[in-house]
Amino acid sequence: MRIAQASSSPAETAFQASADPVLTAVQSTPENGVRQSIDGTDYIFFDGYWVRYYPPVEESLASRKMLIDHLTRRAFHHTEPGINTPGERLDTARAHYENQTDPAMKRVNAAMLAGALFNRATDIFTAIVELEEKGVCISRSNELMKACGDYFKEALELGKEVKHFSGEEGIDELWGEPFRAFTVPITKYYESRFIKVSQAMANIDKVSAHMKALYCSRPEYSNIAPLLDEYASAAKHECETMKSDVCIFEIWPRFVAAGEALGNAKPDMQPDCSRECSYVMDEAQSTLIAGRNLINWVARARVPMPRSTEKYFARCEALGERLKGC
């Protein structure tokens, strides 16, 4: 991984001018993995975006356990409720999954089983770390380590049945992170995180651009562009920032305030607006809120949500057809 020293480069100038971690107006695209310090903050470049860089924690079982615990909690936080099944209830969860015949209920049982598998794996890994702290060395070939890996792998396979808390779609990228943190070197896991953040940023920009194309041409929303730009920018900063970073006390309030400002934007109804047009404006307002929510979900999960994005774009297209009649 190459490290580039800070200088008055076009990339840095563009970054400082916009305060937005995205490559803009540069003459040559940096290679993926290039790092650069900008105003005292380290960034790493992947797929068109400068992402805030955090050095990996040390490679040890204790560090890996801490990372897996964090990722498991985060996975449950962003997925549907009711699936955080304790590891000791694994056998019960499996029996209900295997015996369930209703397809809709079986999907939920699968998600509950996946939760139990994750928790059983972390229970075992906790015990392994505690043994290591007492001087007992556990190798990768140990039966406990193999069982831990098997549980993580099975949970990952069932992850396709787990939905985002919005119910919009599955969120496999997020669900698979604890398993990846268990199987690959920590430095490799961190690299994959930076890549996913850059993909999430691209998703945010794509949704924001689509919303601007739909709304900014309308006289009712003539002042919406700055609000959309501010929220997309704040969302990308939130996406890249770890909650343990002290700058979160500036990043998070900006993100929330920008989202509230966008949500409070109301259409400037035109004097000749018909009753039918008024109904269309109601749909336009709810579609605007839906777009804001989608950006929120992507930013907080830090992974792209392609199916939700496609669904939202279809909604925008249908609204655009209705707006032609106004």
Contacts of 216 (CB under 8 A, 6+ apart): 222, 224, 225
Closest residue by Cα to residue 34 from 14, 20, 18, 50: 50
CA distance 37 to 5: 6
Give the pLDDT of residue 20.
Answer: 56
Tokens linked to 41: 């903050």
Rounded to two decimals, the pTM is 0.84
pLDDT, one tens digit per residue, over 62-77 is 899 999 999 999 989 9
Give me the mean pLDDT over the 48-58 stretch: 94
Chain-wide mean pLDDT for the chain?
88
pLDDT, one tens digit per residue, over 130-157 is 988 888 888 888 898 999 999 999 999 9
Give me the mean pLDDT over the 217-233 stretch: 93
pLDDT, one tens digit per residue, over 96-124 is 999 999 999 999 999 999 999 999 999 99
pLDDT for 14 beyond 70: no
Domain ranges of the chain: 3-52, 61-183, 197-323
